[in-house]
Amino acid sequence: PEQVQEYARETLGETSENKVRTLQELSDIIYERGEVMPLRMDDNYLLRFLRARSFKVESAYRLLVNYYTFRENNPEFYDVNPLDLSFIGDADAVSVMPYREQTGRRILIYKLGKWNPSEYAADELFKATLAILELGILEPRAQVLGGRVIWDLEGLAMAHYWQISPATVQKVIEIMVTSFPMKVHSIHIVNESWVFD
């Protein structure tokens, strides 16, 4: 849509000339440094990393390296069939809203009180999150606009907290900040539980 292209131009600095130049620079850096060899090198693939870092080539390169380092260090989160995680969606513990918010961004919602920690671990929620993000980033609109996250803590109890290790929290932060090519524009926490205090 026109408004997404305008946003990309004004906010990210995405113009035809800038796109061609930065794609070439990023490609050159990948080959020159040899620090990472992405699974794909086509323009559409590399473009998601440039968009996530507002066409700053060095930052996009660092994001690409972080992304592949994370994948290499955490293969258990990527050897997943999304259908094997459908029980999480069925429980409504993690979902993407069927509509976009007013600026066109997708909204990812966690209803952690609906998660039954005796049935599946926090790592399963994280796998589902990564599967959702990998599917979402295929959309050029999501690459440009990013997304929003809502953490609904209604029904959260101590049993949930005991299942969330510091390592899992660290991985969530890594993905949201340094290791995934999608901007998270806001995180909203609603129905805060007394446990969260």
Q: Do 171 and 148 share a structural domain? A: yes
Name the pLDDT band for 159 (thresholds 50, 70, 90).
Answer: confident
Instruction: With respect to residue 54, please indicate whether it lies within any of the assigned structural domains.
Output: yes
Q: Over 80: is that where the pLDDT of 31 sits? A: yes
Same domain as 137, residue 112 = yes
Check whether residue 173 and residue 98 sit in a common domain. Answer: yes
pLDDT in tens, 46-91: 999 999 999 999 999 999 999 999 999 999 998 888 889 999 999 9
Q: Is 196 within a domain?
A: no
**Single residue among 37, 54, 73 that ends a domain in this structure:** 73
Question: How many residues in total does the chain contain?
Answer: 197
Same domain, 123 and 152: yes
* Res 169: pLDDT: 84
Please indicate, yes or no, if residue 55 is contained in any of the structural domains: yes
Q: Does residue 195 sit within a domain?
A: no
CATH assignment at residue 125:
3.40.525.10
Q: Are residues 98 and 55 in the same domain?
A: no
Contacts of 130 (CB under 8 A, 6+ apart): 77, 78, 80, 175
User: Within a domain: residue 11?
Assistant: yes
In this structure, are 27 and 84 located in the same domain? no
40/101 same-domain check: no
CA 123 to CA 135: how far, in whole Å?
18
**Model pLDDT, residue 194:** 66
- Mean pLDDT value across residues 8-22: 97
- Helices (H), ranges, the chain: 2-7, 16-33, 43-52, 57-73, 86-90, 122-136, 140-145, 158-161, 166-177
The number of folded domains in the chain is 2
Domain-embedded: residue 59: yes
- Indicate whether 58 belongs to any domain: yes
DSSP 55: T
Residues 86 and 107 in one domain: yes
90 shares a domain with 155? yes
3-state helix/strand/coil string of 104-126: CCEEEEEEHHHCCCCCCCHHHHH
186 Cβ contact list (under 8 Å, min separation 6)? 148, 149
pLDDT in tens, 107-129: 999 999 999 999 998 999 999 99
Nearest to 100, CA basis, from 147, 55, 38, 155: 147
**pTM over 0.75, yes/no:** yes
Which residue type does 17 have? E
The encoded tokens of residue 133 equal 């993000």
Parent domain of 169: 80-190
C-alpha to C-alpha distance for 33 and 16, rounded to whole angstroms:
26
pLDDT value, residue 192: 86
